[in-house]
Structure 1
Amino acid sequence: MDFSAEDDDAMREFMPSGFGKKNSGVDVEAQIERCRRKTVDENKQAAAKEESDKDSDDDDSDDEDDEDEFPVSHELLIKTHERPVTTISLDPSGTRLVTGSTDCTLKIHDLSSLTPTTIRAFKTVDPFQTKPSADTTSHAIHQVLFSPLSGSQLLVITANPQARLFSRDGDMIAEYVKGDMYLRDKLNTKGHTSEVTCAAWHPTNRERFVTAGTDSTVRLWDVNKRMKQEQVVVHKSKAAGSAGMTRMTAIAWSAAADGNGSVIVSAALDGSLVMWGGDGPWHRPAGEIRNAHTNDTWTSGLDISPDGRLVITRGGDDTIKLWDTRKFKTPVNTTTHPSTSSQYPTSNIKFSPNAASVITGSETGHLHILNPATLRPELVTPVTPGSPLITVNWHPKINQIFTGSANGQTTILFSPTLSTAGALTILSKAPKKRHLDDNADFTTDMDPLGMAGDAVNPGGGKGGPPAGSFTARHPTVGLTASGRSRDPRRPHIPQTTPFAKNTPDQKYVMEQIEGSDMRDEDPREALLKYAPKEGEKAIFTGAWEKTQPKAIYKDYDSDEDERNSKRTKR
Structure 2
Amino acid sequence: MDASSGGKETESSSNDGDIASVMGFSGFGKKARTFDFEAIFEQTRRTAIERSHRALEERRQDETQQEAAGSSQKSKVRPVAASTCRDKSAAKASRPQESSSSGDSSDSGSDSDSSSDLIGPPIPSKLAIHGDPDDIVGPPLPPGYRGSLADDDDDEEDMQDEDDDDNPVKRIPDTHEITLQHGTKTVSALGLDPSGARLVTGGYDYDVRFWDFAGMDAALQAFRSLQPCECHQIRSLQYSVTGDVILVVAGSAQAKVLDRDGFPVLECVKGDQYIVDMANTKGHTAMLNSGCWHPKIKEEFLTCSNDGTVRTWDLNSEKKHKSVFKPRSLQGKRVTPTCCSYSRDGKLIAAGCQDGTIQIWDRNLSVHTKFHCRKAHTPGSDISCLAFSYDGTTLASRGGDDTLKTWDIRNFSKSLSVASGLTTFFPMTDCCFSPDDRLLVTGTSVKRGEGNGKLVFFERTSFQKVYEIEVSNASVVRCLWHPKLNQIMVGTGNGLAKVYYDPVKSQRGAKLCVVKSKRKEKQAETLTQDYIITPHALPMFREARQRSTRKQLEKDRLDPLKSHKPEPPVSGPGRGGRVAAHGGTLSSFIVKNIALDKTDDSNPREAILRHAKAASDNPYWVAPAYTSTQPEPVFAEVESEDEEADKEPEWKKRKI
How far, CA to CA, are the matches of 2:390 and 2:525 in structure 1? 50
What's the TM-score once normalised by structure 2's chain length? 0.53
How far, CA to CA, are the matches of 1:73 and 1:224 in structure 2? 44
**Matching residue of 1:254:** 343
**Matching residue of 2:414:** 330
Structure with more helix by fraction: 2
Q: What is the CA deviation profile of residues 46-94 of structure 1, one whole-angstrom value per residue up to 9, with x for unaligned ones?
A: xxxxxxxxxxxxxxx99xx777421011111111222110111100110
How far, CA to CA, are the matches of 1:403 and 1:345 in structure 2? 16
Give the counterpart of 1:196 among 263, 283, 288: 288
Q: Write out aligned runs for 1:378-457 (5 A).
A: 378-384=466-472, 386-429=473-516, 431-437=517-523, 442=524
Q: How far has the Cα of 1:426 moved from its partner?
A: 1.1
How many matched pairs? 361
**Matching residue of 2:188:** 86
RMSD: 2.3
Q: Write out aligned runs for 1:100-499 (5 A).
A: 100-116=202-218, 118-129=219-230, 138-148=231-241, 150-238=242-330, 244-256=333-345, 262-278=347-363, 280-340=364-424, 343-363=425-445, 364-384=452-472, 386-429=473-516, 431-437=517-523, 442=524
- Is contact 2:358-2:374 (8 Å) kept? yes
Cα 1:68/1:428, change in 2 over 3 Å: farther
Greater CA radius of gyration, 1 or 2? 2
Secondary structure of the equivalent of 1:355? coil
How far, CA to CA, are the matches of 2:326 and 2:335 in structure 1? 10
Q: What is the CA deviation profile of residues 248-307 of structure 1, one whole-angstrom value per residue up to 9, with x for unaligned ones?
A: 011110235xxxx621111100111011122x2111010111111111111102101122
Cα 1:399/1:319, change in 2 over 3 Å: same
Secondary structure of the equivalent of 1:391? strand
Secondary structure of the equivalent of 2:279? helix
- Is contact 2:400-2:427 (8 Å) kept? no
- Is contact 1:403-1:412 (8 Å) kept? yes
How far, CA to CA, are the matches of 1:180 and 1:444 in structure 2? 57
Secondary structure of the equivalent of 2:217? coil
Q: How far has the Cα of 1:171 moved from its partner?
A: 0.4
Unaligned stretches of 5+ residues in structure 1: 1-60, 130-137, 449-570
How far, CA to CA, are the matches of 2:253 and 2:526 in structure 1? 42
How far, CA to CA, are the matches of 1:287 and 1:405 in structure 2? 33
- Is contact 1:80-1:120 (8 Å) kept? no
Q: How far has the Cα of 1:163 moved from its partner?
A: 0.5
Letter in 2 for 1:264: I
Secondary structure of the equivalent of 1:424? helix
How far, CA to CA, are the matches of 1:82 and 1:323 in structure 2? 37
How far, CA to CA, are the matches of 1:125 and 1:287 in structure 2? 40
Secondary structure of the equivalent of 2:511? helix
Cα 1:227/1:435, change in 2 over 3 Å: same
What's the TM-score once normalised by structure 1's chain length? 0.61
Select the structure with the greater relative contact order (CA < 8 A; seq sep ≥ 6). 1
How far, CA to CA, are the matches of 1:67 and 1:290 in structure 2? 34
Secondary structure of the equivalent of 1:331? strand
- Is contact 1:88-1:393 (8 Å) kept? yes
Cα 1:206/1:444, change in 2 over 3 Å: farther
Unaligned stretches of 5+ residues in structure 2: 1-162, 446-451, 531-656
Q: How far has the Cα of 1:433 moved from its partner?
A: 4.0
Cα 1:316/1:444, change in 2 over 3 Å: farther
How far, CA to CA, are the matches of 1:423 and 1:391 in structure 2? 18
How far, CA to CA, are the matches of 1:192 and 1:433 in structure 2? 46
- Is contact 2:384-2:429 (8 Å) kept? yes
